[in-house]
Structure 1
Amino acid sequence: MELLDVIGVFAFALSGGLVGVRRHFDIFGILTLAVVTALGGGIVRDLLLGITPPRNITNLPLVVLALGAGLFTFFFEGTVERLRRLVLVADAVGLAAFCVTGTLTAINAGHPGMEAILVGVITAAGGGAIRDVLAGQVPSVFSPELYALPALLGSVLVDVTQRLGLGGPLTQWLVVALVCALRIAAVKFNWKSPTPRRPERE
């Protein structure tokens, strides 16, 4: 799980930093988005589980990793289109890794089932939601694009496989790959979740 945490932090920090680059933020703004995207979901997770202080605040290597990824994005050169693709991939990887680690953390804290699933989704989507709000964007979790649903599926699979005694490292990596692929495919093929039908104007 430690490796998944590292991957999730680095991927989400890249995602947050690249959003800052695209929004033409200064270095402080880019580093802020990188850190809150990478660590925000885990902080909310720990607070919900009564883990204080949150481990993401006290884990210096993870904080340094998030700052390092933010600095990388500050010096990143490329077209806006390339940045868009990189943001998509980084965000999908972070979403997948954190839905697994968030669910496992809740299970290990004695909260399996629905509680673990909800905590997993919040861990996965929380950092990205904070990032989008700070960047002045509609949070991805509220858009019709499939964002929270892949994380929900991943959290359910982690909880179920743990109950069946099949939740080993291989299973966890397979769930990460599935959630990541589903998120990228949803964007590529424009898959959307159901929305209310708006009445036609007369």
Structure 2
Amino acid sequence: MTWDLFNVIGTIAFALSGVIVAMEEDYDIMGIYILGLVTAFGGGAVRNLLIGLPVTALWEQGTLFTIALIVMTFAFITPIWINKWLKWGMFFDAIGLAAFAIQGALFAKGMELPLSAIIVAAVLTGTGGGIIRDILAGRKPLVFRSDIYVLWAILGGLVIGLGIAATTWQLLLLAFAIVTLRMLSVQYRWQLPHRHVKEGNSAIQK
């Protein structure tokens, strides 16, 4: 039941983030639905393909699809929710990141895949939908440019891959840690080292 709750919250959070981007780009209602669904389920679909799960496994999440569609419809007909989403969106997005990253890592772990595959599964499930969303919207993926995001999904995959977290309570603690670290990175604007190449091929480290 705990993971069902995390998955529901994560699905709602990511679906709404897709709706927000679609509205910002002035998409019609079909564009809103497509972008919302891609954000909520795109990462899991890519993960399934890479680790060998049948594509049809995606359609077994009928309840989550229904929840996402209801939430997106409600958001479309009552746009007043946007102000509240902007306030709490980062928090729920962090919960979604934690839930889906851990879920992806557990899928790969259960298939006895190597550590590298477990980490990739965690990253794709936790961040893949957002990356696909931004590409479809013609934007540079924020997960590569803004405050630290992908690193926390990698952390979840690493901890699970090394067997550090296995029991329900350990996984819940891991989820709490990912959410906390993500919110701290937003609050204090933590960033990974990066370089910007200016005209004339002069690289300036930031």
Q: Give the TM-score band, short-chain normalised.
A: 0.7 to 0.9
Q: Relative to 1, partners in 2 of residues 1:32 and 1:142: Cα closer, same or farther, differing over 3 Å? A: same
**Corresponding position of 1:169:** 168
Asked whether 1:181 is paired with 2:180, we answer: yes
Q: 2: CA distance between counterparts of 1:19 and 1:197? A: 26
Distance change (3 Å), C-alpha of 1:112 and 1:7: farther
Query: How far apart are the structure 2 equivalents of 1:67 and 1:85?
Result: 22
- Aligned-residue RMSD, C-alpha: 2.3
Measured in 1, the distance between the counterparts of 2:158 and 2:30 equals 37
Shift of 1:3: 4.2
Q: 1:73-84, aligned counterparts within 5 Å?
A: 73-78=75-80, 82-84=84-86
- Taking the TM superposition and a 5 Å limit, the aligned residue runs for 1:16-165 are 16-78=18-80, 82-160=84-162, 163-164=163-164
Change (3 A) 1:7 1:111: farther
Q: Figure out how many residues of one structure are paired with residues of the other and give that number.
A: 198
SS state at 1:185 partner:
helix
3-state DSSP of counterpart to 1:93: helix
Identical-pair percentage: 35
Normalising by structure 1, we get a TM-score of 0.86
Q: How far off is 1:68 after superposition?
A: 1.8
> Does the 8 A contact of 1:20 with 1:29 survive in 2?
yes
Change (3 A) 1:181 1:54: farther
Q: Is the 8 A contact 1:124 1:151 kept in 2?
A: yes
**Residues 161-196 of structure 1 deviation map (CA, whole Å, 9 limit, x = unaligned):** xx25x4111111221121122222212211111002
Note the alpha carbon deviations across 1:140-163, whole angstroms, 9 max, x for none: 222142010111112212223xx2
> Would the aligned equivalents of 1:47 and 1:54 in 2 still touch at CA under 8 Å?
no
- Following the alignment from structure 2 to structure 1, what is the Cα–Cα distance between the partners of residues 147 and 31? 26
The normalised TM-score by structure 2 is 0.84
C-alpha displacement of 1:197: 5.9
Paired position in structure 2 for 1:5: 7
